Amino acid sequence: MKDFNFQQIEKELHRQRLENLTRRHFLRDCASGVGGLALASLFGACNPFTSKENISSISSNPLAPRVPHFAPKAKSVIYLHMAGAPSQLELFDYKPALHKLDGQDCPPSLLEGKKFAFIRGVPKMLGPQASFKQHGQSGAWVSENLPHFSSVVDEVTFLKAMQTDQFNHGPAQLLMHTGGARLGRPSMGAWATYGLGSENENLPGFVVLTSGGKDPDAGKSVWGSGFLPSVYQGVQCRSEGEPVLFIKDPDGVTRELRKSSIDAINELNKIHYQEKGDPETLSRIAQYEMAFKMQISVPEVMNINDEPANVHEMYGTKPGEACLANNILLARKLVEKGVRFVQIYDWGWDSHGTDSDLAIDVGFVNKCRTVDKAMTALILDLKQRGLLEETLVVWGGEFGRTPMAENREGKKNPFKGRDHHTEAFTIWMAGGGIKKGYTHGETDEIGYAAINGKTTPFDLQATILNQLGFDHEKLTYEFQGRPFRLTDVHGKVIHEIIA
């Protein structure tokens, strides 16, 4: 049966080659083909994959390394997203004035005209549920929930006045990673890979690692390619079991047979591309070839068992399990191998106070323990390997948490928790040409609203692209008659945080 299938592929390839040479085939497709050429000329051949300056490089390999707009500060990005939105008020944004208000009714001025996901009526104010100290020469405030991270604050820039306009997880995650709160736009990693290509022809340019037991609320769209060719979407890998599902050859299929079948299929795809000029066909060719190469390269790079014992201790890894620490170590290995963009999503940071796992003083503390040691190790490990200056590390969530306690449906929650908050949250960045030991932006005395140095997801996206060597206004893709970009019509580079 397998030989029969392979013979069928060869017959189809032969048929396609002959069909391209027949007069009947030309006459059949002439009207639509010539019409299509005329229409393309009217639209200015808007697709960059078929433009003269790009056709030679992208047609041969859409993942080939490409030169950015200007000299980059960073070669790769590791983005750690804590899905659910960690509370800045229990981590980085110390507000002693909030202690004094603990248990008091929330002032009407904080509620009038505002929308919250679950707060109803008049909630109580909730003081910080952690103690804080200043650390390092920069004097950065960090809570007791991150004892290891407090030792590396002088390598980090804090953005303490981040704001968003989305207060539900899915839309806020989409906005943070795709530049739009609705489905259908390419993710940041897809844009980076589209612009830069990949340095390692045996690995994807954009790799995604998940932990916490679930995917982000926005689903896999937060690492999708949207309207970009699908070759630029993130490839999800796993730290437990097979690194990539279905990457092994079926029983009875040799590597030589698999290579022959892929070659034959790609010959068909090349013929189809020559006929139709559809860039998605190039993606299909590249994906088949990449999958074949990944059968060898991925199991090797995804194996952390051969890392030295001191590295495992440094990160707090658990080989063989699906956990955040393993993924953070894998991120370091992947950027070492030339992967452009590593996206980590860790689920479970939604501290509403509806049960102990979502309590700000129980479950949240446990989540901090899963990330503290590993993210600290990542900074130190990259630095000791000489990779931190060329690797941009970003950490944060999709929005912040309220200084008021959540009172779901107007009733006191069984545990201490905070509702979603759009007007203030904290993200930190390190390496990749970002200032060390710096804090940008400030919130009011209770951490309710940003008062200076305000930044948005669009500003963050523009800054990340800037560090990779791109003008975010010029990294575009023509779709539906207009040029689209990651930041849409928004965003400014946060020049104050660039070293």
Highest-scoring range by mean pLDDT, 2-16, 218-232, 300-314? 218-232
Task: Read off the pLDDT band of 454 (50, 70, 90).
Answer: very high
Question: Among all chains, which residue has been given the structure tokens 């002439």?
Answer: 30
What confidence score (pLDDT) does residue 412 get? 94
Check pLDDT > 70 for residue 292.
no
pLDDT, greater one: 73 or 277: 73
Q: Do residues 127 and 110 touch, judged by C-beta distance below 8 A?
A: no
Check pLDDT > 70 for residue 308.
yes
Closest C-alpha to 84, from 214, 223, 240: 214
User: How do residues 108-126 score in pLDDT, each as one tens digit?
Assistant: 999 999 999 999 999 999 9
Percent of the chain with pLDDT over 90: 70
Minimum mean pLDDT range among 33-37, 280-284, 482-486: 33-37
Task: Read off the pLDDT band of 425 (50, 70, 90).
Answer: very high
Rounded to an integer, the average pLDDT of 301-320 is 91
Q: Do residues 205 and 196 touch, judged by C-beta distance below 8 A?
A: yes
Check pLDDT > 80 for residue 276.
no
Task: Read off the pLDDT band of 199 (50, 70, 90).
Answer: confident
pLDDT, greater one: 349 or 272: 349
pLDDT, greater one: 237 or 278: 237
Q: What is the DSSP letter of 213?
A: S
Highest-scoring range by mean pLDDT, 45-59, 147-161, 203-217, 245-259? 147-161
User: How do residues 19-77 score in pLDDT, each as one tens digit?
Assistant: 555 555 554 554 444 444 444 444 434 444 334 344 334 446 888 899 999 999 999 99
> Distance between CA 29 and CA 19 in Å, rounded?
11
Minimum mean pLDDT range among 12-16, 134-138, 298-302, 353-357: 12-16
Q: Do residues 468 and 68 touch, judged by C-beta distance below 8 A?
A: yes
> Distance between CA 468 and CA 446 in Å, rounded?
36
> Distance between CA 163 and CA 167 in Å, rounded?
10
Burial of 324: CB neighbours in 10 Å, binned 0-12, 13-18, 19+: buried
> Distance between CA 338 and CA 208 in Å, rounded?
15
Q: How far is CA 39 from the centre of its chain?
A: 36
231 phi, psi to nearest 5 deg: -65, -20
CB atoms within 10 A of CB 284: 20
What confidence score (pLDDT) does residue 34 get? 46
Burial of 297: CB neighbours in 10 Å, binned 0-12, 13-18, 19+: middle
Check pLDDT > 50 for residue 389.
yes
> Distance between CA 257 and CA 10 in Å, rounded?
13
Percent of the chain with pLDDT over 70: 80
DSSP characters for 4-65? HHHHHHHHHHHHHHHHTT-HHHHHHHHHHHHHHHHHHHHTT---GGGSHHHHHHHHH-TTS-
pLDDT, greater one: 124 or 202: 124
Rounded to an integer, the average pLDDT of 171-181 is 98
Rounded to an integer, the average pLDDT of 314-326 is 92
Check pLDDT > 50 for residue 485.
yes
Beta-strand pair 206-211/341-347: parallel
> Distance between CA 170 and CA 180 in Å, rounded?
11
> Distance between CA 379 and CA 135 in Å, rounded?
16
Q: What is the DSSP letter of 497?
A: G
> Distance between CA 465 and CA 487 in Å, rounded?
10
- What is each CA distance from 316 to 56, 77, 127, 150, in whole angstroms? 46, 22, 31, 17
Minimum mean pLDDT range among 226-240, 286-300, 367-381: 286-300
Alpha helices in 244-362 (DSSP H): 255-276, 279-301, 309-315, 324-336
Q: How far is CA 392 from the centre of its chain?
A: 12
